[in-house]
Amino acid sequence: MIKKLARSIREYKKASILAPIFVSAEVVIECFIPLVTAQLVRNIQNQCDILTIVKYGLILIALALASLSCGALSGNFAAVAACGFSKNLRHDMYSKIQGYSFANMDKFSTPGLVTRLTTDVSYVQMAYMMIIRTAVRCPLMLMFALTMAIVTSPKMSVAFAVIIPVLAVGLALIIKKAFPIFKKVFKKYDKLNESVQENVSGMRVVKSFVREDYEKKKFAKASDEVCQDFTRAEKILALNSPLMQFCFNVLMLLVCFFGSQLIITSSGADLDIAGFSTLLTYGAQILMSLMMLSMIIVMITMSLESANRIVEVLDEESSIKNPENPINEIADGSIVFDNVSFSYSEKAERQSLADINLTIASGETVGIIGGTGSGKTSLVQLIPRLYDVGQGSVKVGGVDVRDYDIETLRNQVAMVLQKNVLFSGTIKENLRWGNENATDEEMERICRLAQADEFIKTFPYGYDTNITQGGTNVSGGQKQRLCIARALLKKPKILILDDSTSAVDTKTDAIIRKAFAEEIPDTTKIIIAQRVSSVEHADKIIVLDGGKIESMGTHEELLCISPIYRGIYESQTKGAESDED
């Protein structure tokens, strides 16, 4: 895992190395400061002249400045390295996700991916900054300060040998007890917030059913539970600060008690008053480092889960890959389904599509109709290879879609998705998704074809009108027509409309279909619709039911042979017919 993440350091390797180097230098200098200080105090005690004080003072100031610069530099490099690393990590994840197939996307939920790209990366960034700075600083500080303390007074360092294990064991126990509770309670806390989210977005339902009190009780219960667990964990964690104080004070007392005896008995040879305060300074440094170290361990362990989630994204291999010798030319818009079966997951009990055999000639118009969940969308998604078939094969232009270069295939098979999205930006920018180099004239021509030109021109800024995120400032029908225009700009050999005119009125719908027939006669058109009127003039209508082709034929034929088709037709026209009578 670490190896995988480390790959994203790249150009920030230099900063990543410099940060620990400077921090090490800072530690060394910092450890010398108490030593020089002791010398200074000693000189003062010995009533030296002012000059000596000035000399030591200047040395100390120089050391302080050096430590300051090293500290500042390491801080700087650590920030550069960690933020750069996280930038690269985000870039790598984002690029990886761009290569995902639909099946990969289904595996991770959209909010899941967003969290991984944002929250998880920022946790890892924090952990990384700690690793190259604090995690270097603390153990080093611990070792240096300990060495210095031993050098200052070997006899007194026994006191450290007593206190350090006490603190270490104490901290370890606290972590061991509190950490699992925290892990659990954080999950509960997330759930609590999710339920708030649910409540906020479902507020109309809550109020309509007058369920405010019910929701209040539900929330209070969950919140109390979270509070209880948090309190339990925090209470354990609260031991940290008294423990630390205890250790430091005991150390101080030990040094005071035994140190003074040592000073007196050795007449200041083994230890003197100056050395005595030096010892205390080192003691503080040692214990502080231990404390920090325990915090680092907790933080890094916590970020491991985030790191894991990131690696999951980086590790996921696209289930759809370009073939080795891809074909870059598509002969025509003919489509053949040869004994195709398909399911979204291997575990699924029921196949989404089974035994599909289908031949569509280039330039034909094909309608697909069927109830919710009958497999209409699944069927057409196999043509631009958004999913791969389970069994059998799908051929476009006589060649298995798996043999084409994916980009070539998808540029020739334009699909207007059912759950379609416009992006924030101008209408022009959105249309250019279909063809980057489209001229204004071309866009207008295509929009006229999709019956979008007229309403675009009524906007104050015309084609430069800004679309808000999710396309909320155009109506459903307008959005659908923009999406069709965007797909048409690709000049595809096959055009698939997945319920793409449901919000367009029947008359406009008919005009669009007529325009298709006249303007792009050679393009194969596949139209999925709920409305019979959208497909009734197609060359061929496929009725899907439960993932199988129930029947196939023209409108008239189906009215005779397909009870499902007849049912759909009647449910949509019954009233109208009686009116006309």
Partner 1 sequence: MKTNVKAKAHLNENNNTASGTKAAPPIGVIFRILKLLFKEYKVQMIFVTACIVVVSLASTIAGLFMEQYILLINDGLQLGLDAVYIRLITLVTTMLCIYATGWLASFIYTRVMAVVTQSFLNSMRKKMFLKMQDFPIRYFDTNAHGDIMSHYTNDIDTVRELVSVTLPHLIQAALIVCSLIFNMLYLSAWMALVVALASVAMVMAAKGIGGKSAGNFIRMQRSIAKEEGFVEEMMNGQKVVKVFCYEEKSVEKFDKINDELCHDATNANRFANILMPIMGNIGNILYVLVAFVGGIIVVSEGIPNVSLGGIEYMSTIQKIAVVVPFLNISKQFTNNVSQVSQQINSVVMAMAGAKRVFELLDTEPEKDEGYVVLVNATRENGEIVETAERTGLWAWKHQHGDGSITYTELRGEVTIEHMDFGYVPEKQVLSDITLYAKPGQKVAFVGATGAGKTTITNLINRFYDIDDGKIRYDGININKIKKADLRRSLGVVLQDTNLFTGTVMDNIRYGKLDATDEECIAAAKLANADDFITRLPEGYNTMLTANGTNLSQGQRQLLSIARAAVADPPVMILDEATSSIDTRTEALVQKGMDGLMKGRTVFVIAHRLSTVKNSDVIMVLENGRIIERGTHDKLIEEKGKYYQLYTGKFELE
- Residue ranges in 239-258 that form contacts with partner 1 under rule CB under 8 A: 239-242, 245-246, 249-250, 252-253, 256-257
Q: Are 215 and 267 in contact (CB under 8 A)?
A: no
User: Contact between 2 and partner 1 (CB under 8 A)?
Assistant: no
User: Contact between 392 and partner 1 (CB under 8 A)?
Assistant: no
Site string for partner 1, 500-529 (x = CB under 8 A): ---xxxxxxxx-------------------
Among 313, 415, 482, 528, binds partner 1 (CB under 8 A): 415
Name the H helices within 99-156: 102-107, 110-115, 121-129, 135-152
- Smallest distance from partner 1 to CB 547, Å: 13
- Span of 161-169, 306-314, 438-446, 569-577 interacting with partner 1 by CB under 8 A: 569-577
DSSP 184-209: HHHHHHHHHHHHHHHHHHTHHHHHHT
- Smallest distance from partner 1 to CB 339, Å: 26
Long-range pairs of 255-263 with CB within 8 A, sequence gap ≥ 24: 255/156, 255/159, 255/279, 255/280, 255/283, 258/155, 258/156, 258/159, 259/153, 259/156, 262/153, 262/155, 262/156
Write a three-state SS string for 234-269.
HHHHCCHHHHHHHHHHHHHHHHHHHHHHHHHHCCCC
- Smallest distance from partner 1 to CB 393, Å: 21
Other beta carbons within 10 Å of 34: 23
Among 24, 195, 465, 554, binds partner 1 (CB under 8 A): 195
**Nearer to partner 1 by C-beta: 391 or 496?**
496
| Binding positions for partner 1, 267-296, rule CB under 8 A | 267-268, 273-274, 277, 280-281
- Smallest distance from partner 1 to CB 540, Å: 21
Among 196, 311, 358, 517, binds partner 1 (CB under 8 A): 196
User: Contact between 211 and partner 1 (CB under 8 A)?
Assistant: yes
Output the CA torsion 369→351→335→377 (10° steps): 40
- Smallest distance from partner 1 to CB 54, Å: 7
State how far the alpha carbon of 437 is from the alpha carbons of 243, 291, 433, in Å.
69, 61, 10
- Smallest distance from partner 1 to CB 83, Å: 4
| Binding positions for partner 1, 61-120, rule CB under 8 A | 61, 63-65, 67-68, 70-72, 74-76, 78-80, 82-84, 86-87, 90-91, 94-95, 97-102, 105, 109-111, 113-114, 117-118
SS3 360: strand
User: Contact between 216 and partner 1 (CB under 8 A)?
Assistant: yes
- Smallest distance from partner 1 to CB 514, Å: 13
Torsion-angle region of residue 284: left (phi > 0), alpha (psi -120 to 50) or beta?
A: alpha
| Binding positions for partner 1, 299-338, rule CB under 8 A | none
To 5 degrees, how large is the angle CA 42–CA 43–CA 46? 90
- Smallest distance from partner 1 to CB 185, Å: 10
What CA–CA distance (Å, rounded) separates 512 from 452? 10
The token pair that represents 276 in the structure block: 């005595």
User: Contact between 210 and partner 1 (CB under 8 A)?
Assistant: yes
Cα 319 from chain centre: 19
Cα 313 from chain centre: 8
| Binding positions for partner 1, 113-152, rule CB under 8 A | 113-114, 117-118, 122, 125, 129, 133
Q: Are 105 and 292 in contact (CB under 8 A)?
A: no
**Nearer to partner 1 by C-beta: 2 or 51?**
51
What CA–CA distance (Å, rounded) separates 150 from 33? 16
**Nearer to partner 1 by C-beta: 391 or 508?**
508
Torsion-angle region of residue 339: left (phi > 0), alpha (psi -120 to 50) or beta?
A: left
Site string for partner 1, 422-441 (x = CB under 8 A): -xx--------xx-x-----
What CA–CA distance (Å, rounded) separates 389 from 385? 8
Among 7, 11, 194, 331, binds partner 1 (CB under 8 A): 194
Among 11, 212, 317, 519, binds partner 1 (CB under 8 A): 212
Site string for partner 1, 440-479 (x = CB under 8 A): -----------------------------xx-xx-xxx--
